[in-house]
Amino acid sequence: MEIFHHDLNINFLGMRKVSIAISAILLIVSAWAIMVKGLNYGLDFTGGVMVEVNYQQPIDVGEVRQALEAAGFQHAVVQSLGGTRQISIRLQPPKSGNRNVSADQLATQVSDSVLAALKAKRPGVTMTRHDFVGPEVGQELKNSGVMAVIVVIIGIMIYLGMRFEKRFAVAALASEIHDTVITVGIIALVQREFDMTVLASVLAVVGYSINDKVVVFDRVRELFRLTRKAEPEQILNRAINNTLSRTIITSVFTAITMASLYLFGGTAVHGFAITMLIGILVGTLSSIFFASPILLWLGVSKKDLMPVTKENPELARRP
């Protein structure tokens, strides 16, 4: 299935100065947003109060969330514990003016207020557990998340270096850093809550982003080997045009899936879906306007991609 003709000939590389300039601006703005504004970390990273309640009758998670919001508990994370009666609630406790209040006392005060808010909407509810989760666990999750992203990107770079050539690996590394920084930067810029689902989405964006690059790079290698006389810029342009239909179709259908997840999946997956939508857009555009210009700038050529043949020793000794 193709939405563009296979022999389409758009000069994408002719726009490389503009596209690289736009990418540089987006990278600078994203880096500023991450370092200056910072990420709006959710309860997974900052800690907070955890309350578990049990209802006598089945209840919907959305109803519990609405009851908490009506009582002033904003941004509470509400999840079902394997059924329709047991509910887990995590929320950030209000800042207390009394510094002598211990973490346990604060957790008790917040949990009592939560229980009162839930009973006001539906009396048949009891609290089974409450606890205070400190920020130390969140810091460990931050470090593990950053390490996971780094390991994934390095692993992709090693794979591409073995499958293609080192210039492809460097271009892929630059593209992955580009896509990840801009995606996270947009989240920081709009101050969208950054929790474990968003972190999982960032890792998914890294994997999704490299998928398009591998398709384009594979076509570049194929065209270099099939074409006798052609400049690298022409080969890269032809590779992008040949794979354009596949790139657009994959991105559109993945975006439709994420949009459906956002609309019908509930608030718990909103962060994942929005981050994926941002990553799909950034990754698709970078496959066309960033990765290939970087590959051209690195000086990829036909001789770099031709199979290495062993020279016959007898021929080598002949004058």
- Over 60: is that where the pLDDT of 18 sits? yes
Q: What is the mean pLDDT of residues 280-304?
A: 84
Same-domain pairing of 32 and 112: no
Single out the residue in 110, 133, 156 at which a domain terminates.
133
Residue at which a domain ends, from 79, 113, 133:
133
* Domain boundaries, position 246: 13-40+137-305
Q: State whether 168 and 29 are in the same domain.
A: yes
Whether 313 is in a domain gets the answer no
Domain CATH number, residue 75: 3.30.70.3400
pLDDT of residue 118: 87
Domain check: are 188 and 280 in the same one?
A: yes
pLDDT interval class at 103 (50, 70, 90): low
Q: Domain check: are 77 and 213 in the same one?
A: no
Query: 2 in a domain, yes or no?
Result: no
Backbone dihedral angles phi then psi of residue 50, each to the nearest 5 degrees: -115, 130
Note whether 101 and 64 are same-domain residues.
yes
Q: Kindly report, residue by residue over 124-182, the tens digit of the pLDDT.
A: 888 888 877 766 666 777 788 788 878 887 887 788 777 777 888 888 888 888 999 99
Q: Which long-range contacts (CB under 8 A, 24 or more apart) does 75-82 make?
A: 75/42, 75/193, 77/42, 77/43, 77/195, 77/268, 78/268, 79/268, 81/52
Q: Check whether 68 has a pLDDT greater than 70.
A: yes
Q: For residue 319, what pLDDT band results from cuts at 50, 70 and 90?
A: very low
Same domain, 74 and 164: no
152 lies in the same domain as 300: yes
Residues 123 and 234 in one domain: no
| Count of domains for the chain | 2
Q: Does 8 fall in a domain?
A: no
